[in-house]
Amino acid sequence: MNDIKCSKCDEFLVPRKTEFDYLGSTFSHEVPVCPKCGRVFISRELALGKMSEVEQQLEDK
């Protein structure tokens, strides 16, 4: 995370609590974010790992 930069702001990303929505549920999780513009970065590992798990759990409800 420390080696990823926001191309527009030229700032290294920092962990920040971010809100997520899916199928009517809202929750927050710490993800890398540009400290200047607030642009959120979701890594492949997160998207296909934890996020996918939670998505499936919510879809089963």
Partner 1 sequence: MTQEQTQEFVKGCIRGEPPPCASACPFRLDVKDFLAKCARGKWTSAYKTYRNAVVFPVVVAELCGAPCRGVCKLTEQPIELSAVERTMLSNVKKRGADFYAIPPKPQRILIIGAGLRGLACALGLAQKQYQVTVTDPQDGWGGAIRSHPKFDVFDADFRDQFSAVKVEFRYGEMNPETSGYDAVLTAVDRDDPIASIVDGAADALRLETYVQTGVMPEAQPSAYRCTESPPPRELSEPEARAESARCEQCDCSACLDACPMLKSYRKDPKRLALEFFTDAFVNPPLSTHSMTREAYSCMDCGACKAACPQSIDLGRLFHAYRRMRFENGTTPAAFHDIFLRRMERFNESGRVLAPLDGSRYVYFPGCAVATELPDTSARAFDFLRERYGAGLLERCCGSPLIWAGVDSEPPKLDLNATYIYACPSCAESLRAQLPNIATLSVYDLLSGTGIADAPTFTLFHACAARDNHALQGAVERLASGASLTVNRSTLNCCGYGGQTQLANPRQYRETVESNVRSDSNPYLVYCANCRETFKRQGKECYHILELLFPAANVNDALPLTIPDDVRDYMAANLILERDVLDVIRYAESSGEKFTTADGSLIASLVRGALTYWVEYRPIGDSFEVSSAYYHRMKFRQGGAR
Provide the binding-site residues for partner 1, judged by CB under 8 A.
3-8, 13, 16, 18-24, 31, 33, 35-42, 44, 47-48, 51-52, 54-55, 59-61
The separation between the first and the last C-alpha atoms of the chain, rounded to the nearest angstrom, is 33
Q: How far is CA 9 from CA 13, 35, 50, in A?
A: 10, 9, 28
